[in-house]
Amino acid sequence: MERKVFGMISLGCDKNRVDGERLLGEIVKRGHAVTSEPSEAQILIVNTCAFLESARKEAIEAVLEGNSFRGGKLEKIVVTGCLPEKFIGELFPALTEGDVFLGVNDVPALFSALEESYARGERVNAVRRYGKPCFSERLVSTSPHVKYLKIADGCFNHCTYCLIPSIRGKYVSCPEEELLKEAASLGETDELVLVAQDVTRYGEDRGENQLVPLLKKISKLDNICHIRLLYCYPDRITEELIEELRTEPKLIKYLDIPLQHSEERILKLMGRKGSREEYLALFGRLRKAVLGIALRSTFISGFPTETEEEHRALIRFLGEAKLENCGFFAYSREEGTPAYKLAGQVHPSTKGRRVRELYRAQAEISAAKLAQYVGKTVEAVCDGLDGAEGFLGRAYFQAPEIDGCVHFTAPRAEEGKRYSVHITRADEYDLYGEAEGELQ
């Protein structure tokens, strides 16, 4: 195929982002160009999410919007990712704006499918044509100092609201040797974010949990300065992992532990393990063992049959847990999940109100925690410019793109460098201050 210019619109989670970066890596390896402007692309890839109905709608709208470039340079649209992987049977005949369709593990099939589409002038369904994990070189699409490493795909858990196992399949750990090779190939990296649907199960599909041994080996790589863990299920946070967090200086003292609720009846309906007492005990152990550890979680509001009292109990739980950061989501009824058939669906307006009340409750907690930094100095990595007046940074308790920021002024600051910032003000989400100097 003659040299083309490719563009990509990548939607969804960071795991999906890594899949998209593998596609971009394959494109560059074959000598083609990549643009960040969709209007300049001859071939536009839409990397889709299908986790929720809203995500599926967003993906289809992105394809339709991309199709508006047909009168210009655009020749082909490639639809890839979770949406075609799960729904190709209904998607392919309906979404005629797409020329080529790929699944989540079809990176090596990209060019054969494109060549077929060009040669025959027809649309091509290549979903699962390759159909197995690929560890090709990636073209990193994030800021140079923050990179993601997907250590596993799929899921062992059977949460009754979730489509992930039916899209991504059972939990499969990426081979350790491939992960170490990939991490080393990413170049100088201030923050390497390890992601999976559940990073704490790494290795269990092969007989034994191997997360801590993997962390020890990644920590030894000279090009990796800091390591952050996202999506750690509470029942798999072992004493061994806690000890590694306590003793390994490269591991950021931060855990994202998705709980989804605090009340046992709702947790059982969700197919989740644990209870509010177990969760609070876990937080206590973590805070006692790892000085200053920051804890984040996500919660689903308005799950079928959730009562007003259970909602209030979740608000009280937030007051007891005192987490640094939280995300709250209204339950989305997804056809094909066990929860879809449950009676007692909560009205959308009630779900919306409950989410707002949860955010208000957490905002008070977060504001009180951040207020403790006023008058003190924090270490912040610079993520770039903050308008025309200063710079955006993050402290260790702020994960990229999902938590708050440190807004700071300085004569100059360089993206990816770390600075000592004197905090002068705080609100519910962010800190504000002045840089005192660069940290070595």
CA distance 122 to 239: 56
State the pLDDT at residue 1: 85
pTM (2 d.p.): 0.93
**Cα–Cα dist 175/170, whole Å:** 15
Cβ neighbour number for residue 288 with a 10 Å cutoff? 10
Q: How high is the pLDDT of residue 344?
A: 96
Q: Which of 324, 317, 310, 319 has the alpha carbon at shortest distance from 354?
A: 310
pLDDT band at 294 (very low <50, low <70, confident <90, very high): very high
| Residue 389: band (very low, low, confident or very high) from pLDDT cuts 50, 70, 90 | confident
For position 387, what pLDDT does the model report? 78
Is 138 within the bounds of a domain? no
Confidence of residue 218 (pLDDT cuts 50, 70, 90): very high
Number of folded domains in the chain?
3
Question: Residue 427: which domain range?
Answer: 377-438
Tell me if 136 is assigned to some domain.
no
Q: Which tokens belong to 150?
A: 């997907």
In this predicted structure, the answer to whether residue 75 has a pLDDT above a threshold of 80 is yes
* 393 pLDDT more than 90: yes
Whether the CA torsion 439, 231, 180, 16 is positive or negative: it is negative
Show the 3-state SS of 239-275. HHHHHHHHHCCCEEEEEECCCECCCHHHHHHHCCCCC
One domain for residues 28 and 117: yes
Determine, yes or no, domain membership for 429.
yes
- 168 in a structural domain: yes
pLDDT score recorded for residue 102: 97
Does residue 130 belong to any structural domain of this protein? no
CATH code: domain of residue 329: 3.80.30.20
The amino acid that residue 173 corresponds to is S
Mean pLDDT of all residues in 265-287: 97
Question: Per-residue pLDDT averaged across 177-205, rounded?
Answer: 96
Residues 266 and 220 in one domain: yes
Q: What is the pLDDT of residues 125-135, one digit of tens each?
A: 999 998 888 78
Same domain, 366 and 422: no
pLDDT exceeds cutoff 70 at 209: yes
Residue finishing a domain among 125, 154, 169: 125
Task: Inform me whether the pLDDT recorded for 342 exceeds 90.
Answer: yes
Q: Which DSSP symbol is given to 107? A: G
Residue 37's closest CA among 66, 76, 4? 66
Distance, CA of 116 to CA of 123 (rounded, Å): 9
Does residue 329 form part of some domain? yes
Instruction: Report helix, strand or coil for 118.
Output: helix
Cα–Cα distance measured from residue 408 to residue 393, given in angstroms and rounded to the nearest whole number: 7
- Of the CA atoms within 13 Å of residue 221, those in its CB half-sphere come to 25
Radius of gyration of the chain (CA): 22
Residue 124 pairs with which residues in a beta bridge? 100
Q: Is 154 part of a structural domain of the chain?
A: yes
What proportion of the chain, given as a percentage, has pLDDT over 70? 100
pLDDT digits (tens, 9 = 90+) for 32-66: 999 999 999 999 999 999 999 999 999 999 999 99
- Burial annotation 187-219 (CB, 10 A radius, 16+ → b, else e): eebbbbbbbbbbbbbbbbeeeebbbbebbeebb
- DSSP string of 181-235? HHHHHT-SEEEEEEE-S-GGGTTGGGTS--HHHHHHHHHT-TTEEEEEE----GG
Residue 186: band (very low, low, confident or very high) from pLDDT cuts 50, 70, 90: very high
Whether residue 156 sits in one domain with residue 272: yes
Whether 131 is in a domain gets the answer no
State residue 132's pLDDT score.
Answer: 81
What pLDDT score was predicted for residue 440?
67
The CATH number for 387's domain is 2.40.50.140
Question: Given this model, what pLDDT does residue 18 score?
Answer: 94
User: Count of alpha carbons within 13 Å of 149, Cβ hemisphere only?
Assistant: 30
The pLDDT, as a whole number, for residue 33 is 97
Residues 295 and 393 in one domain: no
Q: Whole-number mean pLDDT of the chain?
A: 95
